[in-house]
């Protein structure tokens, strides 16, 4: 049987005779073949589009046959531990009798919808089935995969322990060489983009921290070493997991390469009782022949269209009080800051850490989420009411997953903390992690959060997470105690989902000491993320460049803070600070009581200007024109979906002697149309701006110079460039 859809839409097509399945995105094809005789699902093609008739005729690669080779290695869609398979397994288990090898057989191929198909496999003799899900979300270029496991036996069979349980294995075509791209870094130094050759063997990216991590992010790109920003084939794989995770790129000596993506890490075992099941997080992947920039824009489109809860909303300009008052918050100084923030044009006022009982510093109070009696003797409602009267939404900082030992909560429930019973808990930042894999803990969190939001008319939560896991395990340790590395995040998801259901107008920003929890899984439940605790406007260019590889500007929170910067000490003009932060979701975090009248006036103008360009920045297509560190300038372009408006930022962090840089060649414009500079009234055709380039605007002298160019189409309805 063959099922297919119109060629203009993403689809799944199945040829029942050959067992071939063709998945078509808007710009690529992915082909697999079910081999019932061998009990496996083999990969055929991932790349350029092709028709089903050709997909059926394509050969399947196999390694040369000898007693030392793994003939399936790199070829199977979902390799298991068992038989002559020596590569990285996507699935590895231990049965109740201590044995582990699997012997798969194919049950059936079941179309769920036109864009979703399931391949069902099971072990030939043991009580375990696994179902491979493939989905092609409409209107884009991203594939989605996940896997479901089912214990099909009875109590007599005992439990099955899942040792590795990947969402997907993504086989790649053969190329002479491969280059891997990823980001690395640390706290306040997130998003350092790096591309380097992929060696033969296994290259693993991951987090054992219980959260996504500052040091890496759950995605990677692969290319043959010849791709650039706007040309060349690129494959990309990501994982929607907010706990511990692992991506393994394996390149074999025989010339096969693939990426395995899954939650957990070595030792994070999951127990599956008889009748039990487990569903993995979704893995996302794409192929494009148009470089890293197109790969990013494809992911941006997918996240806006299929992941974010409210992608149609423009994110508000916020003011956050942390850097102005730190822990010394009280009703009086917050009211003073709120009035100044409203005068600047802020639309959301966020009261940060220090507002709750016992919180005079970071050594106490976490867990006791009622207003500080000395700092807010009337509670938070009077402040919230005044913020609303000033025309702003009211937001609060919270850290629900953490507890201080010096708190009433810990004294009452010390068993709620993640720990193994014979280990001494390690305090980091003077706090411990609550076990959100436990229903009684998430139930407590949901109750107090619901009360807090309802009683104080809270519109926005900044949800923080300020330390990694240590000694993580169930209070009553068992054979799968370390499942908390994945189940904690699932508990977090349940709280967020239920909270948002109860309060549909509530908006949430994800934060983990900055960018320590950023992934498609958390973005499905939040509206934006705090990109980094480092607000230095120059450092942020590098951080934001790495962030943009997968995530759109419309979720990237960025603040204008004081100068000298409180973290780095760098002195940066306000113009540069605004231009850096305006490239994402603009926020202000400085001490407004110390800003001069001239600074406040400049800030007021910056906020007004941002509101004008905000629809293009937050909803438009992003083009990275000049990357940080590759020359004297960094430049980013945003283009509205209809190509009627373009916004271009240019930054020069340091003064450098030499000839002037060439014009900026813009991208995506309508070639026959004419575009006018909204500030100078200069006018050019789209062809000129794309071919010759945009003449560079005059930059102020000295370090940290920047410019913003706004272009609007005034005539023409030609083709897109």
Indicate if 464 belongs to the active site: yes
Nearest CA to 469 out of 412, 512, 405, 509 is that of 512
For residue 564, cis peptide bond before it (omega within 30 degrees of 0):
yes
Contact between 259 and 180 under an 8 Å Cβ cutoff? The reply is no
∠ at Cα 495 (357, 314), nearest 5°? 90
Specify which residues 206 forms β-bridges with: 246
Any residues with CB less than 8 A from the CB of 346 and at least 6 apart, and which?
316, 317, 318, 319, 392, 588, 607
Q: How far apart are CA 73 and CA 40, in angstroms?
A: 12
Q: How far apart are CA 279 and CA 720, in angstroms?
A: 42
Q: Pick the catalytic residue: 73, 368, 464, 539?
A: 464
Show the DSSP H helices in 199-307 as ranges.
291-302
Contact between 335 and 381 under an 8 Å Cβ cutoff? The reply is no
Nearest CA to 580 out of 607, 605, 604, 560 is that of 560
Contact between 454 and 233 under an 8 Å Cβ cutoff? The reply is no
Contact between 639 and 668 under an 8 Å Cβ cutoff? The reply is yes
Nearest CA to 631 out of 541, 570, 531 is that of 541
Q: How far apart are CA 424 and CA 402, in angstroms?
A: 17
Q: How far apart are CA 270 and CA 99, in angstroms?
A: 16
Q: Pick the catalytic residue: 352, 435, 480, 533?
A: 533
Note the Cα 407 to chain centre separation in Å.
33
Burial (Cβ within 10 Å: 0-12, 13-18, ≥19) of residue 717: exposed
Helix 484-502 and helix 439-455, axial crossing angle in degrees, nearest 10 = 30
Which value, to the nearest 10 degrees, does the dihedral of the CA atoms of residues 581, 586, 587, 592 take?
Answer: 70
β 556-560/528-530 pair status = parallel
Contact between 207 and 244 under an 8 Å Cβ cutoff? The reply is yes
Indicate if 533 belongs to the active site: yes
Strand, coil or helix: what is 539? Answer: helix
Q: How far is CA 324 from CA 333, 341, 571, in A?
A: 9, 12, 17
Q: How far apart are CA 86 and CA 104, in angstroms?
A: 15
Q: Which residues are the active-site residues?
A: 464, 533
């Amino acid at each position: 049987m063959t099922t297919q859809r119109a060629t203009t839409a993403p689809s799944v097509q199945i040829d029942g005779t050959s067992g071939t399945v063709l998945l078509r995105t808007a710009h690529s094809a992915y082909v697999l073949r079910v081999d019932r005789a061998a009990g496996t699902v083999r990969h055929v093609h991932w790349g350029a589009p092709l028709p089903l008739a050709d997909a059926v005729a394509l050969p399947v690669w196999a390694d040369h046959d000898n007693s030392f080779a793994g003939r399936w290695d790199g070829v199977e869609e979902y390799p298991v531990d068992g038989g002559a398979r020596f590569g990285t397994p996507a699935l590895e288990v231990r049965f109740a009798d201590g044995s582990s090898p699997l012997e798969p057989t194919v049950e059936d191929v079941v179309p769920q919808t036109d864009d979703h198909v399931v391949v069902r496999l099971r072990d030939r003799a043991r009580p375990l089935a696994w179902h491979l899900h493939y989905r092609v979300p409409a209107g884009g270029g991203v594939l989605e995969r996940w896997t479901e496991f089912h214990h099909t036996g009875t109590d007599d069979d005992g439990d099955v322990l899942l040792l590795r349980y990947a969402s997907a294995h993504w086989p790649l075509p053969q190329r002479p060489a491969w280059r891997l791209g990823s980001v690395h870094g640390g706290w306040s130094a997130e998003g350092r983009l790096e591309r380097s050759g992929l060696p033969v063997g296994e290259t693993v990216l991951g987090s054992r921290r219980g959260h996504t991590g500052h040091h890496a992010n759950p995605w990677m790109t692969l290319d043959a070493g010849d791709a650039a920003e706007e040309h060349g084939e690129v494959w990309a794989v990501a994982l929607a997991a907010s706990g511990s995770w692992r991506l393994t790129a394996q390149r074999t000596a025989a010339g096969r390469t693939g990426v395995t993506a899954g939650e957990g890490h070595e030792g994070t075992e999951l127990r599956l009782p008889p009748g039990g099941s487990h569903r993995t997080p979704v893995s996302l992947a794409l192929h494009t022949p148009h470089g890293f920039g197109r790969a990013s824009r494809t992911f941006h489109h997918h996240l806006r269209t299929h992941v974010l809860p409210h992608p149609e909303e423009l994110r508000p300009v916020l003011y956050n009080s942390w850097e102005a008052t730190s822990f010394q918050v009280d009703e009086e100084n917050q009211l003073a800051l709120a009035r100044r923030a409203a005068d600047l044009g802020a639309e959301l006022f966020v009261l940060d850490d220090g507002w709750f009982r016992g919180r005079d510093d970071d050594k106490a109070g976490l867990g006791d989420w009622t207003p500080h009696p000395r700092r807010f003797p009337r509670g938070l409602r009077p402040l919230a009411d005044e913020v609303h009267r000033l025309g702003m939404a009211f937001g609060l900082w919270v850290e629900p997953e953490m507890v201080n030992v010096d708190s009433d909560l810990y004294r009452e429930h010390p068993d709620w903390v993640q720990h193994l019973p014979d280990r001494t808990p390690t305090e980091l930042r003077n706090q411990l992690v609550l076990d959100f894999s436990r229903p009684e803990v998430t139930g407590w969190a949901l109750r107090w959060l619901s009360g807090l939001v309802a009683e104080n008319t809270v519109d926005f939560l900044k949800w923080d997470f300020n330390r990694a896991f240590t000694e993580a395990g169930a209070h009553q340790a068992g054979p799968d105690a370390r499942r908390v590395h994945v189940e904690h995040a699932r508990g977090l998801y349940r709280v967020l989902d239920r909270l948002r259901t109860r309060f549909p107008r509530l908006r949430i920003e994800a934060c983990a000491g900055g960018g320590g929890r950023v992934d498609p899984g958390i973005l499905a439940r939040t509206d934006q993320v705090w990109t980094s605790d480092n607000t230095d406007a120059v450092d942020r260019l590098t951080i934001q460049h790495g962030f943009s590889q997968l995530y759109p500007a419309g979720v990237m929170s960025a603040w204008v803070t004081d100068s000298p910067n409180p973290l780095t000490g760098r002195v940066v003009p306000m113009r540069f600070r605004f231009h850096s932060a305006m490239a994402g979701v603009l926020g202000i975090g400085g001490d407004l009581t110390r800003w001069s009248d001239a600074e406040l006036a400049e800030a007021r103008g910056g906020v007004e200007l941002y509101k004008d360009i905000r629809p293009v920045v937050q909803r438009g297509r992003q083009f990275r024109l000049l990357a940080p560190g590759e020359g004297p300038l960094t430049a980013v372009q945003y283009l509205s979906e209809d190509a009627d408006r373009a916004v271009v930022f240019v930054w020069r962090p340091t003064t450098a002697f030499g000839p002037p840089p060439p014009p900026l060649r813009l991208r995506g414009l309508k070639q026959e149309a004419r575009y006018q500079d909204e500030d100078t009234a200069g006018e050019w055709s789209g062809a000129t701006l794309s071919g010759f380039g945009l003449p560079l605007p005059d930059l102020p002298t000295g370090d940290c110079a920047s410019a913003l160019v706004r272009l609007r189409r005034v005539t023409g309805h030609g083709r897109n460039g």
